[in-house]
């Protein structure tokens, strides 16, 4: 384990009498040297045995079994499993895992977009983003950059380059570019001017904006987690994508929306219960479908690819444009940064700053909605 820790991990070098003491010492030297170089001892031993480097297929299998299945929710694990087997393994299973690079990843994403356009007439940007996230997450774990690893040794050399670095699907395609500030203004004006969407979808989109929230987390928002007296939405770690609990500050605009919905909740646990079946929450897929079906009425250009996921990104982009530092952006987005600053961000009381920036953003949204 890295110097300064008291953690340890047992490594089997071989078995007697098949392996002599001299052979065991030689293998120990190989493993120890790899450890000192911040490399994976198991991989070093495999290379010494003539088995070669870990392949992409072997990395995917190890990632799914030892990390994703243990540390992520079942639906997240299934998504990674499906995506990696469908998009990565068909063409790259035998490639050494350390050889996968940005060109390979770009080729994967372009193929996803091409296939989606031919088969469904869509850009495929969402599927490409999911594939990018799955590959990025796998290499983050494999190189020891994920804090949930615990005593799990890295499988690839620490510091190995991220093959997804700088890859952003569709950035040059205007149809699938991120939502601009003007597009958001137009969408808010359209939503205010007429009943473009059903009330549940309309309110869910506004709540994503008001809270900088992830789409699924907002769709599955529960009344038991809303504290009207404190003006907060308390998300337990079991309900968040990254497993980190979050205290979301609610602006008066967000509280007003919630109070209106609470008045007609009729005992249902979900803030955004389905219109037809109140026992179930609105799903992210259904919300996305409603936005796409009504893109023109929402003020978007014909053929423009639109997704609710852009609302959170647009909100976080506004924070950066307006001068909010990384600490407050991490606090509002429930991102866990790295290093000393991250420790400060997630342990210090930043509720006041979070409340101030949340209010500034809500006021900006209201001014854009009123500017019809």
Angle between helix 125-142 and 74-83 (nearest 10) = 100
Length of the chain measured in residues = 372
d(CA 154, CA 88): 21
What are the residue ranges of helices labelled H in 37-158? 41-48, 56-63, 69-71, 74-83, 89-92, 102-120, 125-142
DSSP 8-state secondary structure symbol assigned to residue 337:
-
**CB-based contacts of 21-24 (< 8 A; 24+ apart in sequence):** none
135, 200, 310 from 317: Cα distances, Å = 24, 25, 10
- Could you tell me which residues come within 8 angstroms of residue 59 by beta carbon, excluding any fewer than 6 positions away? 97, 138, 142, 155, 156
Question: 3-state DSSP call for residue 33?
Answer: helix
254, exposed or middle or buried, with CB in 10 Å at 0-12, 13-18, 19+? buried
d(CA 203, CA 151): 43
* Range 181-370 has CATH code 3.30.43.10: no
Query: How crowded is residue 266: how many other Cβ atoms within 10 Å of its Cβ?
Result: 7
pLDDT of residue 372: 52
d(CA 314, CA 317): 5
Ramachandran angles phi, psi of 221, nearest 5°: -65, 135
Per-residue pLDDT of the chain (372 residues; tens, 9 = 90+): 344 444 566 777 777 777 788 777 777 877 777 676 565 676 666 655 645 578 899 999 999 998 999 888 898 999 999 999 999 998 888 888 998 988 888 888 888 887 777 676 666 788 888 999 999 999 999 988 776 655 667 888 877 889 998 887 754 344 445 678 889 999 999 988 767 889 999 999 999 999 999 998 999 999 999 999 999 999 998 888 777 889 999 999 999 999 999 999 988 999 999 988 888 999 988 898 899 889 889 988 876 767 888 899 899 989 999 999 888 998 999 876 554 344 344 444 688 899 999 999 999 999 988 875
pLDDT of residue 349: 66
pLDDT of residue 4: 43
List the structure tokens of 193.
């001017």
d(CA 111, CA 116): 8
d(CA 165, CA 101): 9
Domain boundaries, the chain: 56-149, 181-370
pLDDT of residue 170: 59
C-alpha 327, offset from chain centre: 18
Specify the residue for token string 């510091």.
Answer: 159
pLDDT of residue 20: 81
pLDDT of residue 88: 93
Whole-prediction pTM: 0.58
Q: 321's torsion region: left (phi>0), alpha (psi -120 to 50) or beta?
A: alpha
d(CA 48, CA 42): 10
d(CA 240, CA 23): 49
């Amino acid at each position: 384990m890295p110097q300064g820790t008291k953690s340890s991990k047992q490594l089997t070098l071989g078995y007697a009498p098949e392996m002599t003491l001299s052979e065991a010492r030689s293998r120990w030297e190989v493993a120890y040297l790899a450890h000192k170089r911040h490399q994976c001892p198991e991989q070093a031993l495999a290379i010494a045995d003539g088995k070669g480097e870990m392949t992409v297929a072997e990395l995917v299998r190890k990632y799914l079994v030892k990390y994703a299945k243990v540390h992520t929710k079942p639906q997240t694990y299934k998504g990674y499993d499906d995506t990696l087997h469908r998009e990565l393994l068909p063409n790259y299973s035998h490639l050494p895992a350390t050889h996968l690079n940005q060109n390979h990843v770009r080729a994967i994403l372009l193929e996803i977009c091409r296939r989606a356009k031919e088969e469904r007439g869509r850009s495929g940007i969402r599927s490409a983003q999911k594939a990018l996230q799955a590959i990025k997450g796998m290499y983050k774990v494999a190189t020891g950059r994920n804090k949930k690893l615990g005593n799990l040794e890295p499988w690839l050399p620490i510091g190995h380059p991220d093959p997804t670095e700088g890859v952003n699907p569709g950035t040059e395609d205007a149809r699938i570019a991120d939502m601009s500030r003007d597009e958001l203004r137009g969408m808010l004006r359209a939503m205010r001017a007429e009943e473009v969407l059903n009330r549940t979808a309309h309110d869910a989109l506004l709540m994503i904006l008001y809270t900088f929230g992830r789409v699924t987390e907002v769709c599955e928002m529960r009344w038991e987690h809303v504290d009207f007296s404190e003006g907060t939405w308390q998300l337990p770690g079991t309900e968040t994508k990254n497993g980190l609990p979050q205290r979301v500050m609610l602006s008066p605009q967000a509280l007003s929306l919630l109070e209106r919905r609470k008045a007609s909740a009729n005992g249902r646990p979900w803030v955004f219960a389905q219109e037809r079946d109140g026992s179930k929450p609105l799903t992210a897929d259904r919300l996305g479908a409603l936005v796409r079906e009504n893109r023109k009425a929402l003020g978007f250009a014909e053929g423009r690819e639109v997704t609710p996921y852009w609302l959170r990104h647009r909100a976080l982009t506004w924070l950066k444009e307006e001068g909010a530092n990384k600490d407050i952006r991490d606090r509002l987005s429930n991102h866990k940064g790295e290093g000393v600053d991250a420790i400060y961000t997630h342990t210090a009381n930043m509720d006041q700053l979070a409340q101030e920036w949340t209010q500034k953003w809500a006021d900006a949204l209201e001014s854009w909605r009123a500017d019809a």
